[in-house]
Chain A
Amino acid sequence: MKVRIDVDACVGAGQCVLAAPDVFDQRDEDGMVVLLLEEPPAELEAATEHAALLCPALAIVVDR
């Protein structure tokens, strides 16, 4: 699995961090998404996919 983020679309909702805290974080200054793991290991794939689905700004793209 490969993860891409669109910081331009990100609204800083933090839903991704709630869903997959090992894969995503937020910048301190503006809450924008920070990608911690571009290729999450198998055990984090379900949580990563859930984060992408929940994102209200569609800022996370997951390629399998």
Chain B
Amino acid sequence: MGNLGRVVVVGASAAGVTTAETLRREGYTGRLTLVGDEEALPYDRPPLSKQVLAGVWEPEKTVLRPESAYADQDIELLLGNAACGLDLARRTVALANGEELGYDGLVIATGTTPRTLPSGHDLAGVHVLRTVGDALALRGDLLRSSAVVVVGAGFLGTEAAAAARQLGLDVTLVDPLPLPLVRQFGDRVAAAIAELHEERGVRLRTGTGVVRLHGETAVSGVELTDGTVVRADVVLVAIGAVPATGWLDGSGVPVDDGVVCDATCRTADGVYAAGDVARWFHPHFGGLMRVEHRMNATEQGMAVARALLGAQTPFAPVPYFWTDQFDAKVQAYGVFPAGAEMTVAHGRLDEREFVAHYLAQGRVVGVLGWNMARQLRQDRQLVSGSPGGVRTGRTPGSAPRSA
């Protein structure tokens, strides 16, 4: 590890902020710059589709640190300024305002960008949800509307559907797969999620894709592959997210569904990646993984800071995530590969209070709890060994944004 005169962290959300703060905590005294494309002070994203959308929290409550915390830690904040290029040979990052930042160590933490439909996003009332601005715009439209269609029944879509239903709207949840969250949790838990949503009045249109959005200047409906048109004055498109790596095009940084990294999250000399954008080699799960969950942003940010300072430890977390919908708090540790065998180990699924174990090749690779947090934490240890042999390019829960 050479002399780290200056570290630049690109991406000022949870992963970037954690990386910067961990560098200071671990004794790094050089120049430290945190670059973010949004104007807002760095904030937390999981509450956006939950408390903020529901109106339970003011958006200010999501701010990660008061502004003074950055100055106190001698972290230079460059907000409202996107990175638009990287020169590995000269060790410089180009910013949208024309500035160039030299670095000795670089952290890529640019997160993801929502996937969009091929057309229709120019219609009023059509939303994606990633930023606090997105959340407030969507909430504003929901409060003025009566019927919302949520396209995509992953974490973000199901959480937003629940929040909209609780605001009293007529909610339709559309997904080409047969059940909500089926790719993430498997058939049985997905069926319970579907039942919960239907009980609360969400209309499920699963097994159905979207053909196009209808409307002149504002959206009026969603045409489905079965030929029906569902009336809507708001549409939320929640069909997953793609790593925000456009600014790395042509830089030589390997990109393949994220920034490809080794087990220490390093992608090039002096260059590391953390958070949603990073696809690194997980030694226990035996493959490249990219995890779009809040906990990973913190853990990977910490690991990358230490790696920059010379640690050679592989980053081998047990992924954790949660989702809140209606009265259900579903939490999970580990990975949930397609085809894993699911058994209920504690409680009862039909009472919606249980812990389930997911086995692949005879080993527990994931544990999931539904309103059973304490028991779930105790069962986490079953996953923490070396599951080995589980081949998963991405964690199954990685596509739609969740916590």
Question: Which residues on A are within 8 Å of B, measured CB to CB?
Answer: 9, 11-15, 17-18, 26-28, 30-32, 53-54, 56-58
- How far is the CB of B162 from the nearest CB of chain A, in Å? 15
Contact A26 B377 (CB under 8 A): yes
Interface residues in B, total, Cβ within 8 A: 23
Fill in one digit per residue for B367-380: 1 if any A CB lies within 8 Å of its CB, else 0: 00001111011001
Given contacts A13-B331, A31-B329, contact A56 B373 (CB under 8 A): no
B61 to chain A, nearest CB (A): 8
Contacts A12-B331, A18-B380, A28-B374 given; does A53 touch B324 at CB 8 Å: no
* B396 CB, nearest partner CB in chain A, Å: 19
A26, B373: Cβ atoms closer than 8 Å: yes
Q: Smallest distance from the beta carbon of B30 to chain A beta carbons, Å?
A: 21
Q: How many A-B residue pairs have CB under 8 A?
A: 58
- A58–B320 Cα distance when bound, in Å, is 15
CA distance A31 to B330 in the complex (A): 11
Contact B298 A53 (CB under 8 A): yes
Q: Does B401 contact A (CB under 8 A)?
A: no
CB pair B295–A18 under 8 Å, yes or no, is no
B46 within 8 A of A: yes
Contact B373 A30 (CB under 8 A): yes
Does B233 lie at the interface of the complex (its beta carbon under 8 Å from any beta carbon of A)? no
- Given that A26-B373, A26-B374, A53-B298 are known contacts, is A12 also in contact with B64, CB under 8 Å in the complex? no
Sorted nearest first, the 5 A-B pairs with minimum C-beta distance are: A31-B373, A14-B377, A12-B373, A56-B295, A56-B294
Besides A11-B46, A53-B298, 7 more A-B contacts (Cβ < 8 Å) are A13-B295, A14-B374, A15-B295, A15-B320, A18-B380, A54-B298, A54-B299
CB-defined A-B contacts under 8 Å, sample of 5:
A9-B61, A53-B302, A56-B294, A56-B403, A57-B46
A58 partner residues in chain B, CB cutoff 8 A: 44, 64
Q: From known contacts A31-B329, A53-B302, infer whether A14 and B376 are also in contact, taking CB-CB under 8 Å.
A: yes
> Are B302 and A13 in contact, CB atoms less than 8 angstroms apart?
no
Tell whether, in the assembled complex, residue A12 and residue B295 are in contact, meaning their CB atoms are under 8 Å apart.
Answer: no
Q: Which residue of A lies closest to B323 (CB)?
A: A11
The 8 A CB mask of B284-307 against A (1 = contact, 0 = none) is 000000000011001100100000
Q: Is the CB of B376 within 8 A of A56?
A: no
